[in-house]
Structure 1
Amino acid sequence: MFTPPPSPLPSKRFQSSESHKPKMTDDTPTCANTSASPTHSYQSKQKHTLTLRWTIILVPLTLITIAVSTRFFVHPTVFDAFSPTSSQGWKSWTNSLTDWSLHQRHKSTGDLLHLSDTSPSPFIKRSTPSTTSAPTVPINPTLPTPFPQPYDTTLSPNFSTTSCYNFFLNMTQTDALRSCRPFSLLLTHSQAFIQIQDDINATNTDIWGTCNTGISQSQCDLNMAWFASSLRSSCATDLSDQNLMAVSALTGLQAYDLMREAACSVDPVANAYCYVEAVASSDPSSYYFYQLPLGLPLPKITNGACNSCTKSLVSMYSAALSSTNATSLTGLQFTYADAANKLNSACGSSYAQSTTVASSSAPPSVKLTSVGGWAVLLAVGVLSTSISS
């Protein structure tokens, strides 16, 4: 009987591969660790991709936020839609949202005095006159109740020290200040006084009230001197830090007597207050001279300032700078020389006397953190968060 030959042995290569093949048992899970490394790599790649996508999305949004904040935080246009005095309809309001030109800043309420060498225009300008002629000096008019007072808006606690803030709270409530109706503080720090200038007759009455106080002028002079002294003590740090509220208040208190005299000056020809004539005039040139003692530089003027009232006013200023009280008139020291030169250029050399005054540094200006700066910080924060993720 034929016996078949034995089967050929497998090749060494085959044997070797078979010998290294893991034996499968019921206790050994299939693909135990073979996929661990690829899975971790995939997850890391997926996280990196997700971070990159968020960065791509957030960076443009941040840049858009910077552009929008620059327009809307400088002036919140959207608030105009809810203003009770707004005459914009829905169409004009929606058009304003797409208007990327610089929005005109709203008029300040006069709670802070802003001075700048680069923009020497006075902070508070006279209102548009409702009449072209000033009324005569009234005789015992009925004064408004309450009479306009300085710092009649909400007093912001924007002070370096609590003692200075408390001083302003106390000063604005005391009868020693309110009874004297200080024109030097009303001119730039009273919203009621500023707004009433739209009514020339009401302005005439208010000026009469500042000139005819219930207590004597000499007593008011003592009151303002006491407030100025207390302000230097209570607001020493704020004055050192050039807090503009403290600096402007001290300037106004020191100029009380001079500015009361200026406000009560009468044009003998028209028998009208010179200040009221300046408010009533369509040319604001004469009006600006009343702000010189407060440290507000004189802007460009016309020959509309060439009148007897202005000439008398600068003579009053010149005399004050030559008096023993000149050292306290820091605002006028800063503004008079330039104002005299401008007046003489417009009206002739005989209008203002050149007076040698002690040098005085310019009043401080407000330093504000720009909206753009905050936006850049926001952008940096977003990018840092994205990268760290």
Structure 2
Amino acid sequence: LPRPFDTGLGNNFTTSSCPVFFKDFLNDDTFNSCVPLSLLLQTSTSFFNVQRSPVRLAQTLAASCSVNFSGCSTLMASLARQIQSPENCAPDLANQNPMAMQAYDGFVAYQSLYHAGCLLNTDTGGYCFSDAINATSPTDSYIYYLPLGVSLPGTTAPSCSNCLRNTMSVFASAATNRSQPVAGVYAQAASMIDGTCGATF
């Protein structure tokens, strides 16, 4: 199964403690058993490669969606607190170190990307995420980056499907929590999608 930060950590850290924190959680079996989509999306080369194979992608999503969700949620919330500690990565977060920021965003977005990534297409029985990756419109997959605080590009023209509606509904509830990265990008994305799909969408 793919893992986050699988191309190495490099040495672009402010402190020596932050890469130690990374190594600790990346080598933790419990963490890896959660197969967190929220961390795989931006930081995993192996997950990027998996997306080219519908079968392997379905297997990865099945693993990610069959975990002990409450246990994994508790772990991710704990890691989100720990990474902010001065003994771990606080100086790197303050300096906007991309790796530290991606890890933090991935921890806090775990729940919403678990719920969105595990949504099924009621017509096909497959995962909505798989549909988005394999869609003729490459922009269908962009919405999954919203929980990580990544805005939709201006050219986004998604397929106006039940999958999109249900996925945006998950993100809408996450966006009500101001501490979630999606809170800063949801409104713009929703109005863009309304522009494409109609306000009643």
Number of aligned residues: 198
Match of 1:333 in 2: 183
Give, in angstroms, the shift of residue 244 of structure 1.
Answer: 1.4
For the 8 Å contact 1:227–1:253, the answer to whether it is kept is: yes
* Rounded Cα–Cα distance in structure 1 between residues aligned with 2:184 and 2:195: 19
Secondary structure at the aligned position of 1:149 is classed as coil
User: For 1:312 and 1:187, how far apart are their aligned partners in 2?
Assistant: 19
Superposition TM-score, scaled by structure 1 size: 0.50
Per the alignment, residue 347 of structure 1 pairs with 197
Decide which structure has greater helix share.
2
Distance 1:153 1:285 in 2: 26
TM superposition shift of 1:320 = 2.0
Shift of 1:188: 1.2
- 1:348-383 CA-to-partner distances (Å, cap 9, x unmatched) read 0122xxxxxxxxxxxxxxxxxxxxxxxxxxxxxxxx
* 2:72 paired with 1:220: yes
CA distance in 2, matches of 1:155, 1:245: 8
Q: CA RMSD in A?
A: 1.1
CA contact (8 A) 2:140 2:159 kept: yes
**Aligned residues with identical type, % of pairs:** 34
Q: Which runs of 5+ in 2 are unaligned?
A: none
Distance between the aligned counterparts of 2:44 and 2:198, measured in 1? 35
- What's the CA shift for 1:327? 2.9
Superposed displacement of residue 305, structure 1: 2.3
**Residue 43 of structure 2 contacts residue 102 of structure 2 at CA under 8 Å; is this kept in 1?**
no
Q: Conserved in 2, the CA contact under 8 Å of 1:305 and 1:343?
A: no
Structure 1, residues 305-362: CA drift from partner, whole Å, max 9, x if none?
A: 211111111111112223xxx1331x201211111111011110122xxxxxxxxxxx
Q: Distance in 1 between matches of 2:104 and 2:178?
A: 13
Q: Which one of 97, 110, 117 corresponds to residue 243 of structure 1?
A: 97
User: Is the counterpart of residue 187 in structure 1 residue 41 in structure 2?
Assistant: yes
CA distance in 1, matches of 2:168, 2:8: 35
Question: Counterpart of 1:264?
Answer: 118
Q: Secondary structure at the match of 1:161?
A: coil
1:230 aligns with 2:54: no
The aligned amino acid for 1:348 is G
Alignment of 1:270-349 (within 5 A): 270-299=124-153, 300-302=155-157, 304-322=158-176, 326-329=177-180, 331-349=181-199
Deviations 1:152-211 (A, max 9, x none): 112112110111111111111111210111000011111111111111111111111110
Q: Using the alignment, how far apart are the partners of 1:165 and 1:349 within structure 2?
A: 46
Query: Which one-letter code corresponds to 2:178 in the other structure?
Result: T
After superposition, what is the alpha-carbon deviation per residue over 1:96-138, rounded to whole angstroms, capped at 9, x for unaligned?
A: xxxxxxxxxxxxxxxxxxxxxxxxxxxxxxxxxxxxxxxxxxx
Contact 2:6 2:45 in 1 (8 A): yes
Which residue identity does 1:166 align to in structure 2? V
Q: Kindly state the Cα deviation for residue 285 of structure 1 after the two structures are TM-superposed.
A: 2.3
For 1:223, give the aligned amino acid.
L
What residue identity is the alignment partner of 1:301? T
How far off is 1:260 after superposition?
0.5
- Opposite residue 156 of structure 2, the aligned amino acid is I
Could you tell me which residue of structure 2 aligns to residue 178 of structure 1?
A: 32
Partners of 1:327 and 1:297 lie apart in 2 by 16
**Residue type of the partner of 2:141?**
Y
Partner of 1:58: none
Q: Secondary structure at the match of 1:198?
A: coil
What is the rounded CA distance, in whole Å, between the counterparts of 1:156 and 1:350 in structure 2? 47
- Amino acid corresponding to residue 227 of structure 1 in structure 2: L
Structure 2: how far apart are the matches of 1:218 and 1:163? Answer: 28
Letter in 2 for 1:285: T
What TM-score does the superposition give when structure 2 sets the normalisation length?
A: 0.95
